[in-house]
Every structure is written in structure tokens, then in C-alpha cells.
């Protein structure tokens, strides 16, 4: 009896993961970066609520790792 519930829950989890993946992939925009583009980088260490999220100085793209 417990095996049936476990199998059913595993199938439901896999179905939900596939649905979540399809939704994410449908709504995601691929970044269109080229060499030499200026981008703002995220500041990971913030001390307060009003500190900036991004660095004020833009960085230049020198290498692209994705297709």
C-alpha cells in the first residue's frame, strides 16, 4: 500500500517538475550580449537596505561562455 502511494507521489513530482521547466523556459529571455558590451554587475555584499544592488561602474564583456 505504501509503495503505491510512494510511486504515485514520485510520478506527480516528475510531472510537476516538467511543467515548471516548460513554464520557466517559455518565459525566459536569453541574454543577447556581445563582446565589448557594457554591463552592470550585481553587488553581492550589501550592508543596508538602501545600498545599491549593482556596481556604479559598468564592466565590459570580454568573454562569452554561452552559445
65 is a domain residue: no
Total domains in the chain come to: 1
* DSSP annotation of 5: H
51 is a domain residue: yes
The pLDDT tens digits of the residues spanning 25-41 come to: 998 888 788 899 999 99
3-class secondary-structure state, position 39 = strand
21 is a domain residue: yes
Closest-CA residue to 55 (of 45, 46, 65, 42): 42
30 is a domain residue: yes
Res 33: pLDDT: 86
67 is a domain residue: no
Q: Reply yes or no on whether the pLDDT at 14 is more than 90.
A: yes
**Averaged confidence pLDDT in the chain:** 90
Residue 48: give the domain boundaries.
Answer: 2-60
Q: Is 0.85 surpassed by the pTM of this model?
A: no
66 is a domain residue: no
54 is a domain residue: yes
Amino acid at each position: 500500500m505504501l509503495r503505491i502511494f510512494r510511486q504515485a507521489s514520485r510520478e506527480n513530482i516528475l510531472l510537476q517538475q516538467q511543467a515548471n521547466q516548460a513554464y520557466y523556459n517559455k518565459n525566459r529571455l536569453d541574454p543577447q550580449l556581445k563582446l565589448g558590451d557594457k554591463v552592470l554587475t550585481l553587488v553581492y555584499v550589501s550592508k543596508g537596505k538602501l545600498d545599491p544592488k549593482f556596481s556604479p561602474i559598468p564592466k565590459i564583456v570580454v568573454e562569452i561562455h554561452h552559445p
